[in-house]
C-alpha cells in the first residue's frame, strides 16, 4: 500500500476564457448555480478571467459611494447578488468566480471568505510579498493598500461571485468611487510593488494555490463555457 498517496480530490472544472464582458460572465454564473442547485452531483467550477472596465455594486450597496451620476456613468454599472459595496473591474485585474458546493467543504460562509483571502495571501507570498487582512474588513492588503476585493453570494450553499486581484490594471477607474465603501483606504496593485510582474504567471499561481487550498483537481475545459 502506498501510504503517501492522497485520497481523491473533488473535481473542479476550470474555465479561462480571457477578456469577457461582465454581463456575460454573470449570466454564466447564474446558470451554473441553478444547475447545481438542481443536481448537487455536478462538479465544481472555477472561472478565472478579466473584464472590460465596469462598476458593480453589491445587493445592498450604497449608491452614494459612486462619485458620478449613474445616468452618465463612464462605464457600465451592474447591481448584483453579492455582498459588499461598489468595486471596479478592468483588464489587468484577475477575477475569479468559484462555483463551489460548500456541502463538500464547510457550511460556513465566514470560513469561505477567509479561504479566499488566504488564497491571495499565499499567492503573494510566492513573490516574497507580505500581504494580510484588515480587522473587521474583507479583502487583502499590502502596506495599507487594498490589492484584492472579495464579494460572494451563496444559494443553498452553492457559491458565486468571488475575488478580484489587481495585478497590473489601470487604477484610474477606482478614483470615481469609494472602493468597497471604505474611505481613506487607497487601492493598489502588485505592479506597484513588483514592476515586472506578469499576469500569466500570477494566473498560474492562483490555480496552483487554489487547487491545494480547496483540495480540488482542476480540469481545464476547452469549450467556450456557456457562450
The closest of 47, 19, 78 to 161, measured between CA atoms, is: 47
The closest of 56, 73, 76, 91 to 162, measured between CA atoms, is: 56
164: exposed, middle or buried (Cβ count in 10 Å: 0-12, 13-18, 19+): buried
Alpha helices of 39-141 — where are they, by DSSP H? 109-125
Check: CB of residue 43 under 8 Å from CB of residue 11: yes
Query: What angle separates helix 109-125 from helix 199-214, to the nearest 10 degrees?
Result: 130
Active site residue 185: no
Check: CB of residue 207 under 8 Å from CB of residue 48: yes
The closest of 225, 192, 184 to 13, measured between CA atoms, is: 225
As given in the structure block, the three cell numbers for residue 144 are 495599507
H or E element, residue 30: helix 22-38
Tell me which residues are annotated as active site.
180
Amino acid at each position: 500500500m502506498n501510504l503517501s498517496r492522497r485520497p481523491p480530490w473533488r473535481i473542479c472544472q476550470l474555465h479561462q476564457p480571457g477578456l469577457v464582458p461582465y454581463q456575460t460572465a454573470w449570466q454564466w454564473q447564474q446558470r451554473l448555480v441553478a444547475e447545481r442547485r438542481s443536481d448537487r452531483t455536478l462538479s465544481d467550477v472555477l472561472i478565472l478571467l478579466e473584464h472590460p472596465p465596469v462598476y458593480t455594486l453589491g445587493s445592498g450597496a450604497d449608491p452614494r459611494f459612486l462619485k458620478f451620476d449613474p445616468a452618465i456613468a463612464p462605464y457600465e454599472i451592474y447591481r448584483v447578488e453579492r455582498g459588499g459595496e461598489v468595486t471596479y473591474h478592468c483588464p489587468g485585474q484577475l477575477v475569479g468566480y468559484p462555483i463551489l458546493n460548500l456541502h463538500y467543504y464547510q457550511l460556513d460562509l465566514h470560513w469561505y471568505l477567509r479561504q479566499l483571502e488566504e488564497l491571495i495571501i499565499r499567492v503573494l507570498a510566492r513573490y516574497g510579498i507580505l500581504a494580510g487582512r484588515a480587522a473587521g474588513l474583507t479583502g487583502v492588503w499590502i502596506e495599507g493598500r487594498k490589492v484584492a476585493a472579495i464579494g460572494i453570494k451563496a444559494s443553498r450553499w452553492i457559491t458565486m461571485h468571488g475575488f478580484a486581484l489587481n495585478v497590473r490594471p489601470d487604477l484610474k477607474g477606482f478614483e470615481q468611487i469609494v472602493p468597497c465603501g471604505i474611505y481613506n483606504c487607497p487601492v493598489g496593485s502588485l505592479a506597484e510593488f513588483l514592476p515586472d510582474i506578469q499576469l500569466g504567471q500570477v494566473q498560474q499561481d492562483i490555480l496552483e494555490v487554489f487547487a491545494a487550498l480547496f483540495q480540488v483537481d482542476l480540469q481545464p475545459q476547452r469549450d467556450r463555457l456557456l457562450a
